[in-house]
Amino acid sequence: MRSAAVRRSVLAVSVAACSLVVTACGAGQESGEKADGKASASPAAVKALTAAQLEKRVLVQGDVEGQKITDPGKKDVFAPGSVSVGKAACDPVGQVLSSLPPADPAVSVQRLAVHESAKAKKGMPSVDELAGMTEKEAKDATIDSLDVTRTTASLWSYEGDGAQRALDALRAAGKKCAAGFSMTADGEKQQITRVESEKLAVGDDAVAWTVGTKQDGTLADTKIAVVRVGGTLAGFSSFNIAAVTRGESYEQPTDVIEKQTAKLG
C-alpha cells in the first residue's frame, strides 16, 4: 500500500508461515488560534529568509534526542508537480500530505527525522529465532522490528504575508475536504478518507491533522502539521510503519516539531 502521506515506502517481509507486506508514509492549539487562544493576525510585510539563513535554521543531527536527522533521499519525497487531487479546493492538503508546500515559497529546505524504538533497534528476528516462534509470535516480532517513525520536516519561507496566506488557504482546504477526496501521486491513485483536525500550540499559528488514506483496500493514517513562525512555514509529515500495520493510533512527533519551531524563533 502507498503511505498515508503518499510517500514511497514499500517493505515486504516474509516470516515462516506469515507474509507481511507493509507500507506507510507526520499538541495544543486549535487550527486557526494562537497559543493565547486569540485568532492569529496576518504578519507584517517581511522578507523571505535566504537559502543560507534557512539552512542555519533547519534541523541537524543532534538537535532532537533519539532522532537521526539526514537529508531526504529521492525516494523519500515527491517532485513538485507530481501530485494532483480530484477537487481543486483540496490541493493544499494533497501537497502538504506529500511533503510539498501549500503555495510556492521563495526558498525551501527539507530534512528527514527517523526514530527507532528499542525493539526496532534489535532488528528483524533471525531465521533460527523465527523457527522457534508460533505464527502470531513471528508476526508480532516482525512488526516490532518495524516500529520506526519517519518524519519529513520542511521549511518554506515566503515574502510579505505569503506564509500566513498559505496557511489560511491550507486551513480552509482542510475544513472543506474533511470528508476526503481522491488524489494521484506519481501516477498512483489513492483515496483520502478523512482530514481530522488536531490541536497544536506552537509558533505564531498552526494547523495539525490526522489524515486517513485508503489504497488497494488498505487503510492508513499520517500525522500532518504546518507551523508558521513569521514569514516561514515548517511542515511535518509523519508515519509509523508498525502502527499503520497494526491499525493503531500514534502521536504527532512533538519533539521534532517543537525543536524545529524553536530554531525558527
- What are the structural domain ranges in the chain? 10-264
Average of per-residue pLDDT across 244-248: 86
Name the band, by pLDDT with cuts 50, 70 and 90, for residue 123.
confident
The most distant pair of C-alpha atoms in the chain lies apart, rounded to whole Å, by: 65
- pLDDT band, residue 43 (cuts 50/70/90): low
Instruction: Give the Cα separation of 253 and 164 in Å (integer).
Output: 23
Q: What is the value of pTM for the model shown?
A: 0.81
Q: What is the pLDDT of residues 92-106, one digit of tens each?
A: 999 999 999 999 999
Superfamily of domain 10-264: PknH-like extracellular domain (3.40.1000.70)
Burial label for 38, CB within 10 Å (0-12, 13-18, 19+), is exposed
Strands of the 148-157 sheet, one edge to the other: 68-70, 107-116, 148-157, 232-240, 218-229, 205-215, 188-197, 181-185, 83-85
Q: How much of the chain, in percent, has pLDDT values that exceed 70?
A: 83
Contacts of 92 (CB under 8 A, 6+ apart): 102, 103, 166, 169, 170, 173
pLDDT in tens, 137-177: 888 888 888 899 999 999 999 999 999 999 999 999 999 99
Predicted confidence (pLDDT) at residue 24 exceeds the cutoff of 60: no
Average pLDDT for the chain: 84
Nearest to 153 by CA among 231, 50, 61, 217: 61
- Give pLDDT tens digits for 174-231: 999 999 999 998 888 999 999 999 999 999 999 999 999 998 888 899 999 999 999 9
